[in-house]
Structure 1
Amino acid sequence: MIATMLVFLFIGQILSFYFIILLYTKISRLKDVEKSQARLKDEMDNAIGAYLAEMRDENDRLIKELALMNKKSLEDKTDREHSPRNSENGEQHSASSEEVIKPTFNMPRKIVTKAYQNSSASISATTTSIQTAAETTKDSVDSEVKLTFEEQIQELYRNGKSIDEIARLLQKGKTEIELLLKFQH
């Protein structure tokens, strides 16, 4: 009787050690998953922070360019108002100010693009090659089925374009392109 009881206790002890080991391995896996999730969260926070900082910088640069354009147009307008009267018909030269387009912050995309391209940060020797590449890619995209924004990025990246070139071609931020490429893979 005592021998059978000792055997049951021994088997019970072995089973309890087995379950303890199983629980320990599950807890260690859970801790590993928790660490990887925390690392991913930190990476996402850093990526989004960098993206927001880049957006803020681009917005500040755009506002400066628009303010510069606005200032130039105001200077042109004041120069026209101070010019001498036209001797032929006796009208002031500023009468043609109706033809002058008053810049606002609701400017068409082409003007904003031009201001962005004229900024000192985006002027480089490769802009002409990038513009021709953009035209060819736009033509190829138009000739094919319309691609989504993400598909355009992936296609340009597969064609060997750098992230900077893709950002300039699509007129988006580098961080946005990096994030989209990172999350597509």
Structure 2
Amino acid sequence: MLIIFTIVNFALILLVIFFIILLFIKLSRVQQLEQEYRTLIQEAEDTITSYVLELKEENNSFLQKLSNSNHDISHSDKQESFDAREDALTEADLKELLMQENVREDHKETLIAEKPFEEWNFKDQVKHLSENGLTSSEIAKKLNKGKTEIELLLKFRQ
């Protein structure tokens, strides 16, 4: 009986040692993955930091160019600053500007109407066909273009 108890005890000790080894292997894998994630996070942070610094440099150069152009404008007596012009706009000025825009669009439409349809630019052709009730797939077939391209153009136009 003592021999059986000793054999069972020895088998249990071997089983416990085996499980301890398995747990140690799993723990080392988890630690390795954790280190890889830390490395990836550090690389991502470095990339984002460099991108932000690049944007900051571009913004600074843009602001410098803008201030130089504002400096040039302020030296010329002919032009006012943007803020002064914006404050000086009245409702009558806005109506006048809108009327000018409508006149330009009407003029453009008359120029387009004088040309044959094939000589119109692509955007005007799509606009005209869309206003006539054609679907994007019908327009694509008529103009020999992709349906997605027509849909994108119509979305951007809205």
- TM value normalised by structure 2: 0.52
Instruction: Report the counterpart of residue 29 of structure 1 in structure 2.
Output: 29
1:9 aligns with 2:9: yes
SS at match of 2:47: helix
Q: 2:81 aligns with which of 78, 86, 102?
A: 102
Partner of 1:146: 152
Q: 2 CA distance for matches of 1:143 and 1:14?
A: 69
State the match for 1:171 in structure 2: none
Partner of 1:146: helix, strand, or coil?
helix
Q: Where does structure 2 lack aligned partners over 5 or more consecutive residues?
A: 84-144, 154-158
TM-superposed deviation, 1:45 = 1.3
2-structure distance, mates of 1:146, 1:101: 39
Map 1:37-116; keep pairs closer than 5 Å: 37-77=37-77, 97=78, 100=79, 102-103=81-82
Quickly say closer, same or farther: Cα 1:145–1:43, change in 2 above 3 A.
farther
**1:48 deviation in Å?**
1.3
What stretches of structure 1 of length at least 5 have no aligned partner? Answer: 78-96, 105-139, 148-185
User: CA offset at residue 19 of structure 1?
Assistant: 0.4
Q: Which has the higher contact order (CA 8 A, sep 6+)?
A: 1
Q: 1:145 to 1:22 in 2, by over 3 A?
A: farther
Q: CA deviation at 1:146?
A: 3.3
**Structure 1 CA distance, aligned partners of 2:17 and 2:56?**
58
Larger Rg: 2
Equivalences, count: 91
Cα displacement string for residues 29-63 of structure 1 (whole angstroms, at most 9, x for unaligned residues): 10111111110111011011101111110110011
Shift of 1:145: 4.3
What residue is the counterpart of 1:183 in the other structure? Answer: none
Q: For residue 5 of structure 1, what is the amino acid of its counterpart?
A: F
TM-score calculated relative to the size of structure 1: 0.44
Query: What is the alpha-carbon distance in structure 1 between the residues aligned to residue 9 and residue 43 of structure 2?
Result: 51
